[in-house]
A and B are shown apart, each in its own frame.
Chain A
Amino acid sequence: AAGVIQSPRHLIKEKRETATLKCYPIPRHDTVYWYQQGPGQDPQFLISFYEKMQSDKGSIPDRFSAQQFSDYHSELNMSSLELGDSALYFCASSLVGTDTQYFGPGTRLTVL
């Protein structure tokens, strides 16, 4: 069965640079979620989209923005990167009316 696809899997950036993370949800899933997991931490919700509209917002810095496109894929844009942004970034998808969120393999972002 198709799973959530995230790209790139690994990304190394310098401080103050910009990064774009991409997420391709499971086919026919209409809701996408982004989570951030710092080293040794539990995943923290950042933002979610349903039918291309932002549906919920968590502890996402103002330097980050995200959107969902007409083909339901989503991108997380991160600017003015800081050392503390180094983390695993997960995308998850679900189908409205169901409760299970299926997670992608994550993008490991390292900021030097």
Chain B
Amino acid sequence: SQQGEEDPQALSIQEGENATMNCSYKTSINNLQWYRQNSGRGLVHLILIRSNEREKHSGRLRVTLDTSKKSSSLLITASRAADTASYFCATDAFQGAQKLVFGQGTRLTINP
């Protein structure tokens, strides 16, 4: 990946547990977004956090951003079987380029 690492590459947990995925990136950013992808399907936008924000919530999702460490985390609370998917972080470069650079993704499996 051009952007960095996602950690872990795969995560398997029981339904109801919390899932945490981490993302690191290499360059200064304007914002960071998280997307979900069900197997072989489209990318669904989950949440966007700007470079001047440290934490953001949306429903069962909590995203943090640490620009000093160039890292972000996505926490899904009270996981459900329907949360089974791959999760990607994506950044757009600071000042100008809006193209998204994706991380390698975390494959999350929620076991019933």
Contact = CB atoms under 8 A, between A and B. Distances in A.
Contact of A99 (B1, B43, B48, B102): B48
Interface in A82-108: 88, 90, 92, 94, 99-106, 108
Contact of A106 (B2, B42, B98, B101): B42
Given A90-B42, A103-B43, A106-B41, A33 B97 contact: no
Interface residues of A, number: 24
B98 A99 contact: yes
Nearest to B31: A99
B98 A94 contact: yes
Interface in B49-86: 50
10 contacts: A35-B100, A42-B105, A58-B99, A92-B43, A99-B30, A99-B31, A99-B48, A100-B33, A100-B48, A103-B45
